[in-house]
Amino acid sequence: MTGPRFDTSGPGATDPLDEIIRIEGGQVLATLIRLTGDIDRAEDALQDAALTAAEVWKRDGLPNSPGAWLTTVARNRALDMIRRESRRAPKEEAAFRMLTDAPASTFVGREADDSTDDVGDDILRLLFTCCHPALSEESRIALALRTICGLSTVDIARVFVVPDATIGQRISRAKAKIANARIPYRVPPAHELPDRLDGVLRVIYLLFTAGHHAPAGELASRVDLACEGIRLGRLMISLMPDEPECTGLTALMLATHARTGARLDGDGDLVLLSDQDRSLWDHTAIAEAAQMVESILRRRRPGIYQIQAAIACLHSLAPSFAETDWPQIVLLYALLEARWRTPIVRVNRAIAVAEVDGPAAGLVLLDELSGSPIERWHLYWATRADFLRRLGSTADAIDAYRRALACPCNDTDCRFLESRLTSLGAP
Amino acid sequence: MPRYAALIYGTENGNVSPEEWGTMMTEYNEFGDKAGAAGVMAGGEALQDTKTATTIAVTGGKGGDVTTTDGPFAETKEVLGGFYLLDCKDLDEALHWAAQIPGAWYGKIEVRPVIDFSGGAG
Annotate A28-80 with DSSP letters as a single string.
Answer: HHHHHHHHHS-HHHHHHHHHHHHHHHHHHHHHH---S-HHHHHHHHHHHHHHH
> In the prediction, which pLDDT does A116 show?
41
Do A223 and A131 lie in a common domain? yes
What single letter denotes the amino acid at residue B18? P
Number of domains comprising chain B? 1
Domain residues for B25?
3-113
Tell if the CB–CB gap between A188 and B92 is shorter than 8 Å.
yes
**Which of A112, A132, A167 delimits the end of a domain?**
A112
Q: Residue A304 — pLDDT band, cuts 50, 70, 90?
A: very high
Nearest CA to CA, how far is B85 from chain A (Å)? 14
Report the residue of A125, A180, A182, A183 to disrupt the B interface, i.e. the one with the largest count of B CBs within 10 Å: A182
**Which distant-in-sequence residues (6+ apart) come within 8 Å of A383 by Cβ?**
A347, A350, A351, A362, A366
Number of A–B residue contacts, CB under 8 Å:
28
Indicate the pTM of the whole model.
0.77
> In the prediction, which pLDDT does A214 show?
59
User: Using CA of residue A48, residue A54, residue A60, residue A62, what is the dihedral sign?
Assistant: positive
Q: Which of B95, B111, B122 sits opposite A91 (nearest CB)?
A: B122
How many C-beta atoms lie closer than 10 Å to residue A298's C-beta? 9
The answer to whether residue A187 sits within a structural domain is: yes
Please list the alpha-helical segments (H only) found in B38-120: 91-98, 103-106
**Which of A67, A92, A112 delimits the end of a domain?**
A112
Whether A10 shows a pLDDT value over 50: the answer reads no
Question: Are A400 and A424 spatial neighbours (Cβ–Cβ below 8 Å)?
Answer: no
Closest residue in chain B to residue A184, using alpha carbons only: B90
| CA–CA separation, B86 and B22 (whole Å) | 24
Q: Residue A321 — pLDDT band, cuts 50, 70, 90?
A: very high
State the average pLDDT over residues A373-402. 94
The answer to whether residue A157 sits within a structural domain is: yes
Chain A residues with CB inside 8 Å of B90's CB? 182-184
Q: What is the pLDDT of residues B50-92, one digit of tens each?
A: 989 999 999 999 999 999 898 899 888 899 999 999 999 999 9
Q: Report A:246-275 residues touching B (Cβ under 8 A).
A: none
Is the CB of residue A190 less than 8 Å away from at least one CB of chain B? no
The answer to whether residue A350 sits within a structural domain is: no
Do A107 and A177 lie in a common domain? no
Q: Which of A181, A188, A192 sits opposite B113 (nearest CB)?
A: A181
Whether A367 shows a pLDDT value over 90: the answer reads yes
The answer to whether residue A278 sits within a structural domain is: no
Number of domains comprising chain A? 2
